[in-house]
Structure 1
Amino acid sequence: MHEVVAKKYVGALLSSLDASEIAQIDSALSDIKSAFASSKFVDIINLPSLSAEKKAEFLLSLVECNSTKFSNFLLTLAKAKRLEALPDISKEFSYQKALRDNKFKGAIFSSFELNEASKKELEDKFSKKLNANIEFESKKVDYDGIKIELSDLGFEASFSMNLFKEKLTEHILKAIK
């Protein structure tokens, strides 16, 4: 439900912004989104005794954004009692910004540390293949292989050593029979 609300509010917000304001508001929304991890923050946002104006002022005090459009946006959300949709609004805003800029972030998961040259090569190849600017973050995890994920583009590729060994064994056994 919040996703539908987020799309409408983000569409309205983006249509009123110029290019210089978009990055600043994206950062502010991201900061507010991370504040939702605190239960005290959520309690303050949900206080019925706190006016919409005070809630909007509180949110603005958390971020470094001096845009009157953004403060009006937060006030509109507060008056409409839609502040709980801010994490979804932040996510949708970042996605729309990525589409607009044709710049997407992805992740590379592996059990080994990927060096900068390899990461840069993967970014270049995926950028060329997907006709977009791709930037990867390397994450070391307990995974026997490598997994590349671009969630905004709905793309995922992986190579697992265990699966490779199973398929190779299966192929050899078929060849022997």
Structure 2
Amino acid sequence: MKEVVAKKYVKALIASLNSDEFDRVESALVTLASAFKIEKLKVILDSPDIDGAKKANFVYSLLDNGSDKIRSFISLLGDNKRLALIPEISKEFSYQKSIRDNAFTGLISGSFELNQNQQAQLEEKFSSKFGSKIDFEKIKNDYNGIKIELDDLGVEVSFSIDRLKAQMSEYILKAI
């Protein structure tokens, strides 16, 4: 439900922006969304003793250099008691900006390290496959293989060494 409401706010926000303001608005929304990880902020925003305008001013004060459009947008959210939607709005705005710029960020995870050349080759191959600019972030974890995720494009590619071993064993046993 939150995502649906956030999409409507993002659509209206995007309609009011020109191309120069996109990066500044995205930066402001990302900053505000990261502030929502602090539990005390959630308590303040959930407090019935503080009115929406004061909450909106407080949220706006978290930005170093916000524009008038950001101030108006935050005030609108405060008036409609929707300040808690800022993390979802930030996520949706970033997604819409990715679509607009045709540039997406993916995730490469696995139990081994990729060097810069290998990562650049993967980015180049995926970029040509999808006709978009693809950048990958690397995360080292316990997955025995490699997993590539492009959530915004709905793509997940994985190669598991454990699965390969199991399939090879199954094939050998069937051949015997």
> TM-score when scaled to structure 1?
0.96
1:15-164 aligned within 5 A: 15-164=15-164
Cα deviation, residue 20, structure 1: 1.4
Supply the distance in 1 between the matched residues of 2:116 and 2:110 (Cα, whole angstroms): 14
Corresponding residue for 1:12?
12
Q: Is the 8 A contact 1:24 1:65 kept in 2?
A: no
Counterpart AA for 2:71: S
Greater shift, 38-47 or 128-137, is seen at 38-47
Cα deviation, residue 175, structure 1: 1.7
Supply the distance in 1 between the matched residues of 2:140 and 2:130 (Cα, whole angstroms): 24
- How large is the RMSD of aligned CA atoms in angstroms? 1.0
Supply the distance in 1 between the matched residues of 2:128 and 2:65 (Cα, whole angstroms): 35
Counterpart AA for 2:168: L
Counterpart AA for 1:116: Q
Cα deviation, residue 115, structure 1: 0.7
Cα deviation, residue 114, structure 1: 1.1
Q: Matched residue pairs, number?
A: 176
Percent same amino acid among aligned pairs? 51
Q: Is the 8 A contact 2:28 2:66 kept in 1?
A: no
**Deviation >3 Å, runs of 4+:** none
In structure 2, runs of 5+ residues without a counterpart are: none
Secondary structure, counterpart of 1:108 in structure 2: strand
Supply the distance in 2 between the matched residues of 1:38 and 1:66 (Cα, whole angstroms): 20
Supply the distance in 2 between the matched residues of 1:2 and 1:38 (Cα, whole angstroms): 20
Deviations 1:106-163 (A, max 9, x none): 0000111111111010000000001110000010001100000001111000000000
Cα deviation, residue 42, structure 1: 0.5
In structure 1, runs of 5+ residues without a counterpart are: none
Q: Is the 8 A contact 1:108 1:136 kept in 2?
A: yes
Deviations 1:10-63 (A, max 9, x none): 000000001111111111111111111111011111222223222222112212
Supply the distance in 2 between the matched residues of 1:51 and 1:113 (Cα, whole angstroms): 51
Greater shift, 109-118 or 45-54, is seen at 45-54
